[in-house]
Amino acid sequence: MADKIKSKVKALRLYRVFHRWLGLPLIVFFLIIGITSILLAWKKKAELLPPTLKTQVENGTWVLPSEMVQIGEHEMKKLGLDPEVDRIDIRPDKGIAKVTFKTHFTEVQLDGFSGEVLSIETRHSDWIEKVHDGSIVDYYWTGEEGAKLTYSTLTSLGLILMSISGFYLWYFPKRIRRLKQS
């Protein structure tokens, strides 16, 4: 019986040391992930994403996507920003299109029927998402996904190991008490 208790106490001490030393460097990453998770969950309420506007034209013909790209590029050139388009998000129910860009977090909202520029705003949620998943490093330096994959894998493994060691830090004292009572 005493040997079982000693082995549990020894394991508990090891888990405590492991948990402490693993937790110290990971706390920064867990805080970043936690804070950015809250911001992303509340992005519309916190106005981190430009509100989606609506068309003023009724029953029109859609502007071609190639024209939407040209309008977005033209607006970025006027602002002195890189005009390389990343994607177009078309919202048929609202009659608008959102043009976003590869090298910055600007969004141009266009009326899908008239081609009129409805708004030009920063998409804060996009850069917050890149901080959240670690791809901000790749975005500014490498252009690949190496940092994102490394960051996500290490923080996920760290969270898993912290959860397991945390469970045993909770469980072993209960187990030791039961063994002492028997």
pLDDT value for 1: 67
For the segment 132-170, what is each residue's pLDDT rounded down to a tens digit?
A: 999 998 888 877 888 889 999 999 999 999 999 999 888
Per residue in 99-115, pLDDT (tens digit) is 999 999 999 999 999 99
Cα 106-110-112 angle, rounded to 5 deg: 145
- Give me 10's structure tokens: 């020894």
178 or 65: which carries more pLDDT confidence?
Answer: 65
pLDDT tens for 43-53 read 989 888 898 99
| The predicted structure's pLDDT at residue 49 | 87
Residue 182 has pLDDT above 80, yes or no: no
The residue among 22, 33, 10, 59 whose CA lies nearest residue 132 is 33
d(CA 86, CA 97) in angstroms, rounded, equals: 13
Give me 23's structure tokens.
Answer: 């937790």
pLDDT at 168: 86
Amino acid at the residue 119: S
Span 51-68, average pLDDT: 91
* 0.75 surpassed by pTM: yes
The string over 18-39, giving b where at least 16 C-beta atoms fall within 10 Å of a residue's C-beta and e elsewhere, is bbeeeeeebeebeeebeebeeb
Q: From CA 174, how far away is CA 166, in angstroms rounded?
A: 13
